[in-house]
Amino acid sequence: MPERLSILIAEDSAADRMLLATIVSRQGHRSLTASNGLEAVALFEQERPQLVLMDALMPVMDGFEAARRIKQMAGEELVPIIFLTSLTEGEALVRCLEAGGDDFLPKPYNRVILEAKINAMDRLRRLQDTVLQQRDLIATHNEHLLNEQRVAKAVFDKVAHSGCLDAANIRYLQSPYALFNGDLLLAAFKPSGGMHVLLGDFTGHGLPAAIGAMPLAEVFYGMTAKGYSLAEILREINAKLKRILPLGVFCCATLLNISFQRRVVEVWNGGLPDGYLLRAAGGARVPLISRHLPLGVLEPAAFNDAYEVYPLELGDRIFLLSDGVLEACNKQGELFGEARLHEVFAANRQPARLFAEIQQALAHFRGEPQDDVSLVEVSLVEEGALSRPPLAFAGSGQGSPLDWSASFEFRGETLRRFNPLPFLLQLLLEVQGLRPQGGALYSVLAELYSNALEHGVLGLDSTLKCDAEGFAEYYRQRSSRLARLGEGYVRFHLSVLPEPGGGRLIVRVEDSGPGFDGRAILEQQLALDSLCGRGLALVRQLSERCTWPADGRGVSVEFCWQAGA
Amino acid sequence: MAITSLPSPDGQELTIVIQGRFDFGAHQEFRDAYERINLSPKRYVVDLKGTTYLDSSALGMLLLLRDHAGGDQAQIRLLNCNPDVRKILAISNFEQLFQIT
């Protein structure tokens, strides 16, 4: 039994009205009757029947006009109108349909056909009803989804934009909703003044792709600010993502560690397309190839944090891209691919136009713009050219201890696996007076530690680093000797002394190596602006005093501060 | 896109053949291909001969298969990769987890 309908009958002949009302009632529906168009319109407005039987020719207002008005009032809802007509010529029947009629029934009436038409129109009406309901439901869901994304994005932006993407040496391009394509771009200054940059691409789309971005960003910013190294940050991110993400969800990523002072970049690429080191001189493009599985795939014990190290010159640029570029697909199903990207590189004359040219090439290739592309470019500039915020310090802010000393000795096993710098830095920054110099302090500690470890304990020769090949060789030897390290130590002796109006920190670093001729090294370093160490010169520049004993075993540096500074 | 699975006569090996695009749309069908069979094969073969494209979701699905097949002990070969598919597998360094031939 179909639903009981209200059916409006507009017919000027009283006999026909009666006949139609009887048929409709016998079919189980409720009938409303009007004797002209105007009455029909009024009755429609008042009773909102679901279906109308409309005589075409009536006094006062004819059926055509009444049909137009009723259709207008009905709006999106389908109120089927069946015209009742003795008109037979084609043109008149067309007028019925043009006025909004859905069907017509010729006079004299055939009960069986009328009933069948009412049933057919009722099916259509219910179909339209369902479509409208579903449309509204989808619209509501979509509204909710967009709203949730807005909230999620606002929260995420607070975390993601706490970094330094707006630094003068970074250029980037990202869709505002890249997060929901799974793309992630982070950059942060290190305490030593260098910079970490991460471009990531999570599997999938939508919220599942965005959800891992938050913990990743927290680890990246938190550990970078505390002075952890690239390898340590990678290990932690991998372990965290492996632990919290469902199997099969992971993050392809490239992480860069750029040191402006030492003019090197460390690169780790797991699963992103080749990035490029674009040389300012000569225009060479050195590919930065994916050597690893993406983050979040391997168990911590199997994770490989080996990175590559490249020397940089002023003006060198590092370019990274997400797979949206290479996998852009045209109507023939071809992929944009690396060859087309290289054509864009080769044709590029003004570096500042590179991103725009890549976008143009993509739009030209696809026939429409592509909006899920992430591009970033970081250049090597003079460190002084960047304005960096003061070192953030999440400490108690309470009074600081001012008269103490402590010594640490880090031995073989520890030197192989552990980076003591974040730990030492956190300890020293408990001294409030040192906080404004936190960056310089970190740089000096980092230099002294790597000198002690690399030259003292590992016995590496920094003159190796005089050209690009030697440079790579140096870092290869560093990691193989470190892996085999058994004996050896690096000692830090820290003492903090109160002074009138302020205080002084003295750091003495010693190692198990044979010692070195500091003066000769310093002279050599000052003379050469080469790839090999600028380290000791830098330490001299950044600290208050820098001295070493005649036997070359150990270096001592001092920092002092004024109270209230 | 169509996915079919063919056990070897001795039931020791299951071959999963993927036609067309291998992306998120294939998720359920791909899982069904190895979960809805009443045997526990020792080895798996994913035949990508007819696979035109593979995205990162598909890489995720391969990891799910690997886990199902025993994780680090899994024996899974990826066969007949076209150059585009091979490139995507190479960028992700999946040859460390799968035998790609």
Tell me the per-residue pLDDT of B14-24, one tens digit each, with 9 for 90 and over: 999 999 888 88
Confidence tier at A521 by pLDDT (50, 70, 90): low
Predicted pLDDT of residue A400: 62
Instruction: Give pLDDT tens digits for A97-116.
Output: 888 999 988 888 888 999 99
Predicted pLDDT of residue A530: 42
Above 70 in pLDDT, residue A525? Answer: no
With beta carbons under 8 A apart, name residues in chain A contacting B93.
Answer: 270-271, 290-293
**How close, in Å, is residue B6 to chain A by CA atoms?**
24
Instruction: Give pLDDT tens digits for B30-54.
Output: 999 998 888 888 999 999 998 888 8
Tell the burial category of A331 from Cβ atoms under 10 Å away from its Cβ (0-12, 13-18, 19+).
exposed
- Closest CB to A203 among B52, B59, B67: B59
CB contact under 8 Å between A249 and B24, yes or no, is no
**List of domains in chain B:** 2-100 (3.30.750.24)
With beta carbons under 8 A apart, name residues in chain B contacting A294.
Answer: 92
Q: What is the mean pLDDT of residues A381-386?
A: 81
Contact pairs from chain A to chain B, CB under 8 Å: 53
Alpha-carbon distance values, A44 to A25, A38, A47, A237 (Å): 18, 10, 5, 67
CB contact under 8 Å between B64 and A248, yes or no, is yes
Above 80 in pLDDT, residue A387? Answer: no
With beta carbons under 8 A apart, name residues in chain A contacting B56.
Answer: 182, 201, 203-204, 252, 323
Which carries the bigger pLDDT value, residue A174 or residue A553?
A174
Alpha-carbon distance values, A443 to A525, A534, A536, B22 (Å): 17, 12, 11, 49
Residue of chain B minimizing CA distance to A181: B56
Which carries the bigger pLDDT value, residue A121 or residue A535?
A121
Instruction: Give pLDDT tens digits for A364-375.
Output: 998 877 777 889
- Closest CB to A203 among B57, B67, B96: B57
Give the CA count within 13 Å in the CB-facing half-sphere of A43: 23
CB contact under 8 Å between A252 and B56, yes or no, is yes
CA atoms A146, A356, A163, A225: torsion sign: positive
**How close, in Å, is residue B80 to chain A by CA atoms?**
19
Structure tokens at A341: 């990207």
**How close, in Å, is residue A546 to chain B by CA atoms?**
47
Query: Which of the 8 DSSP states describes residue A21?
Result: H
Above 90 in pLDDT, residue A416? Answer: no
ipTM of the complex: 0.86
Which carries the bigger pLDDT value, residue A537 or residue A62?
A62
The whole-chain average pLDDT of chain A stands at: 86
Predicted pLDDT of residue B25: 83
Above 90 in pLDDT, residue A437? Answer: no
CB contact under 8 Å between A335 and B84, yes or no, is yes
Structure tokens at A130: 């369902």
Predicted pLDDT of residue A307: 93
- Closest CB to A290 among B56, B60, B93: B93
With beta carbons under 8 A apart, name residues in chain B contacting A323.
Answer: 56, 91
pTM listed for this prediction = 0.72
Structure tokens at A337: 């691919």
**List of domains in chain A:** 6-131 (3.40.50.2300), 161-322+372-385 (3.60.40.10), 404-562 (3.30.565.10)
CA dist., res. A28 & res. A115, Å (int): 11
Residue of chain B minimizing CA distance to A202: B56
CB contact under 8 Å between B63 and A247, yes or no, is yes
Could you give the dihedral angle defined by the CA atoms of residues A115, A119, A125 and A128, in that order, rounded to the nearest 10 degrees? -150
Structure tokens at A471: 């440079």
Confidence tier at A178 by pLDDT (50, 70, 90): confident
- Cα end-to-end distance, chain B, whole Å: 22
CB contact under 8 Å between B93 and A323, yes or no, is no
Above 60 in pLDDT, residue A532? Answer: no
Predicted pLDDT of residue A531: 39
Predicted pLDDT of residue A156: 79
Residue of chain A minimizing CA distance to B56: A203
With beta carbons under 8 A apart, name residues in chain B contacting A182.
Answer: 56
A interface residues, B as partner, C-beta within 8 Å: 182, 201, 203-205, 247-250, 252, 270-273, 290-294, 297, 323, 327, 329, 333, 335
- Closest CB to A294 among B53, B67, B92: B92
β-pairing, A81-85 vs A103-106, is: parallel
CA dist., res. A92 & res. A543, Å (int): 99
| pLDDT > 70 in chain A, percent | 93
Predicted pLDDT of residue A565: 47
Confidence tier at A451 by pLDDT (50, 70, 90): confident
Q: What is the mean pLDDT of residues A66-70?
A: 94
Above 60 in pLDDT, residue A443? Answer: yes
CB contact under 8 Å between A290 and B84, yes or no, is no
Above 70 in pLDDT, residue A139? Answer: yes
Instruction: Give pLDDT tens digits for A278-304.
Output: 998 888 899 999 999 999 999 999 999
B interface residues, A as partner, C-beta within 8 Å: 24, 52-53, 55-57, 59-61, 63-64, 67, 84, 90-94, 96-97
Predicted pLDDT of residue A72: 94
Q: What is the mean pLDDT of residues A18-38?
A: 93
Which carries the bigger pLDDT value, residue A395 or residue A341?
A341
Q: What is the mean pLDDT of residues A228-255?
A: 93
CB contact under 8 Å between A205 and B24, yes or no, is yes
- Closest CB to A271 among B55, B84, B91: B91
Among the ranges given (A150-154, A268-272, A445-449), the one the predictor scored with the smallest mean pLDDT: A150-154
Q: Which residue from A166, A172, A156 is spatially nearest to A209, judged by alpha carbons?
A: A156
Residue of chain B minimizing CA distance to A297: B63
Predicted pLDDT of residue A529: 46
Instruction: Give pLDDT tens digits for A31-63.
Output: 999 999 999 999 999 999 999 999 988 889 999
Residue of chain B minimizing CA distance to A251: B56
CB contact under 8 Å between B24 and A297, yes or no, is no
**How close, in Å, is residue A287 to chain B by CA atoms?**
13
- Closest CB to B93 among A201, A273, A291: A291
Among the ranges given (A2-16, A207-221, A519-533), the one the predictor scored with the smallest mean pLDDT: A519-533
Tell the burial category of A85 from Cβ atoms under 10 Å away from its Cβ (0-12, 13-18, 19+).
buried
Contacts of B70 (CB under 8 A, 6+ apart): none
| pLDDT > 90 in chain B, percent | 49
Above 70 in pLDDT, residue A309? Answer: yes
B79 three-class SS: strand
